[in-house]
Amino acid sequence: MIMDIALLLLVVICAIVAIQMKDLLSAVIVLTVYSLLMAVIWFVMDAPDVALTEAAIGAGITTILFIAVLSRTRRGETEHNTKVRRFSPRAGLLIVVAFGAMLAVGTVDMPDFGDPHAPAHTHLAERFVEMGYQETASPNLVTAILICYRGVDTLGEVIVVLTAGMGVILLLRTTSRRKQLTNNDGYKPIMCSYYDRADKTTKVVKGEIIRKVVARLSIPFIQIFGLFVIAHGKVSPGGGFQGGVILATSIILFTMAFGMEASRKRLAQWKTDVLNVTGALVFLALGLVCILFGGKFLEYTVLPLGCDMWTNKIAITVAEFAIGITVAGIMITLFIETAKRDDK
């Protein structure tokens, strides 16, 4: 109980501090701490899959994307004219308090945490726990539910990620040419030093050798860990979403260490575009193949891959890698399109 209260207070403090900060980079760092605390909370609540997702996406890739966005804008907030206000801060506070009160009232009738008689535990949960492994061959019930029992819903999530990501990417590409920022507030674009090599200048970046050596040593292990998380998603916390983000992080680290030009030589724009759609198409094709063999959409047991146990294991692994490919491709493309320099 004491640990729960302490984590809750730390989360609230981080949220308040992030809102009050004028330095946007500092606010991003505080939000990273917030995400790490949330990952700890999910782990304490016996939700390791959600904790790994929060750590990889919330504290990892989201922080990188925020910093990439800051490279296109100012690091600090500009001073606004206090005499001209579209709305009163007190009105905003009142709305937030009222909305929070509504949420608090809505939780009164919710069952206690971990209550075995809760509706969520009295209908399908018993079936999942008792028959999940026999029907899906996945010891990790989270993966069994996501890939097998509600595979269509998971495919929809992959398509949502693909659609939203491609929408943002298209917006960034259509507005790729922008005017140079005049930093009247004394700040410089945060990530500009990473791409000096792309400008073919002779400027030596401080710590360049250290950064490149660390990247060369770290990237292979990051990629191996990402593949491990994807491949072992059926037996341990992880899966395609988390593993895809980890794989994307390795490419982003390479870009930050060696520059945008070196990254694009190894991973051209058309290659990332292919990665974006390949995973979703493979997942969709897996479901269509099941129909061709006389089963239902994503009914893996009809596939002629041996016994049902092995068929499910192979199909789940294929689905996890399909998810990981699309997630990795979208995250890599978002970072590159956001952080690339447009002063050509």
For residue 124, give both structure tokens: 């399908």
Question: In the prediction, which pLDDT does 175 show?
Answer: 63
List CB contacts of 196: < 8 A, sequence separation 6 or more. Answer: 203, 205, 259
For residue 192, give both structure tokens: 């500009």
Section 176-200 average pLDDT: 44
Query: What are the domain boundaries of the chain?
Result: 1-76, 135-181+188-344
Question: In the prediction, which pLDDT does 220 show?
Answer: 94
Is 315 exposed, middle or buried (CB count within 10 Å of its CB: 0-12, 13-18, 19+)?
Answer: buried
Give tens-digit pLDDT for 288-325.
999 999 988 988 988 888 788 888 889 999 999 999 99
Query: Do 281 and 238 form a contact (C-beta atoms < 8 A)?
Result: no
Which H or E element spans position 314?
helix 308-339
- Higher pLDDT: 171 or 220? It is 220
For residue 334, give both structure tokens: 């978002």
Give tens-digit pLDDT for 213-232.
888 999 999 999 999 999 99
Query: Do 306 and 294 form a contact (C-beta atoms < 8 A)?
Result: no
pLDDT at 201 > cutoff 70: no
pLDDT at 286 > cutoff 90: yes
- Higher pLDDT: 177 or 305? It is 305
Section 5-14 average pLDDT: 91
| Amino acid occupying residue 176 | S
CA–CA gap between residue 35 and residue 29 (Å, rounded):
10
Task: Using DSSP, state whether 110 is helix, strand or coil.
Answer: coil
Cα distances (angstroms) measured from residue 199 to each of 68, 193, 259, 343: 18, 10, 9, 9
The pTM assigned to this predicted structure is 0.79
pLDDT at 256 > cutoff 90: no
* DSSP 8-class letter at 195: G
Taken in order 246, 250, 256, 260, is the CA torsion positive or negative? Answer: negative
| Amino acid occupying residue 182 | T
| Amino acid occupying residue 192 | C
Question: In the prediction, which pLDDT does 277 show?
Answer: 93
Question: Over the Cα atoms of the chain, what is R_g?
Answer: 23
List CB contacts of 95: < 8 A, sequence separation 6 or more. Answer: none
Is 228 exposed, middle or buried (CB count within 10 Å of its CB: 0-12, 13-18, 19+)?
Answer: middle
What's the mean pLDDT when you consider all of the chain? 82
Closest CA to 253 of 191, 326, 164, 189: 191
